[in-house]
Amino acid sequence: MTRPDTKRVVLVTGASSGIGAACLSHLEARGFSVYGAARNTPGLLALDVTSDESVAAAVRTILDREGRIDAVINNAGIALAGAVEDTSPEEAQRQFDVNFFGVLRVCRSVLPTMRAQKSGTIINIGSIAGLVAVPFQGFYSASKFALEGLTESLRYEVRPFGIHAVLVEPGDHRTALTNNRRSLESTTYADAAKRAIACMAQEEQAGPDPINVARLVHRILMARNPRLRYTCGPLSQRAAIWLKRLTPFALVERIIADHYLK
């Protein structure tokens, strides 16, 4: 375990804005030694999660300075919106390369150190969209669904080494993801896609401040035995998870279609 007089060292990916930036500032204010990372942001550690070499170099920098890594917040992500039919394999691969394989690269890079320490926490920022998919966000949801399975399996594997793997599943929050979302052009699905994407954007910008996610992350890091999944965000979106688990899917399908497509 970390000595009481040692600051816990935390790496936060995707720290240039939104949830990542909120985690960076909130944890720093509470005494953690936090390395915020992004692809190309002055003042942050350079880290491109789509590059093995970039991830390895960033982790090596932290270890050279600190000698340990106690936690990773895998937050880096992008959003692609559009119909499944309109999405090329290259575009789908780009979505997965950041949201899924980026997490894998970071985990593979930090786990040898955490195993040697016999301690560590990996928090993967998923999404309620990784539990309940919505129309015209198929590959974003797919990447987050995949992250669910990866983290669940990882948790079994690393627990014997004193390492915790945890999922945080936010609903809509006010972040730069809204403006940075890439929307695909369509002819067949144009009207429906426009309505769905507009609904997403409106709810995101009306959502809570990402500091709520940062506070949750802090509570997880302070917990002795954090559980696998934590959700946060608007009550209606969190309720959709239980609705999907407890009711026939036909009901869930009708509610979501009415919400996003009408």
Looking at residue 20, what is its pLDDT? Answer: 97
pLDDT-derived band at 4, boundaries 50, 70, 90: very low
Q: Using a pLDDT cut of 90, give the percent of the chain over it.
A: 86
pLDDT tens by residue, 65-79: 999 999 999 999 999
DSSP string, 108-166: HHHHHHHHHHT-EEEEEE--GGGTS--TTBHHHHHHHHHHHHHHHHHHHHHGGGTEEEE
Q: Hey, what are 184's tokens?
A: 């695909």
pLDDT-derived band at 6, boundaries 50, 70, 90: low
pLDDT tens by residue, 102-152: 999 999 999 999 999 999 999 999 999 999 999 999 999 999 999 999 999
Closest CA to 192 of 138, 141, 262: 262
Strand pairing class (33-38; 9-12): parallel
* Residues belonging to the active site: 140
177 vs 26, higher pLDDT? 26
Question: For the ranges 45-54, 58-67, 175-184, 228-237, which has the lowest average pLDDT?
Answer: 175-184
Examine the pLDDT at 3 and tell me if it is beyond 90: no
Q: Hey, what are 254's tokens?
A: 């009708």
pLDDT-derived band at 258, boundaries 50, 70, 90: very high
The beta-strand segments (E) located in the chain are 9-12, 33-38, 45-46, 71-74, 80-81, 120-125, 163-170, 182-183, 229-232
Residue 41 makes CB contacts below 8 A (sequence gap 6+) with 15, 16
Closest CA to 125 of 153, 67, 165: 165
CATH C-level class of 9-261: alpha beta
Average pLDDT, the chain: 94
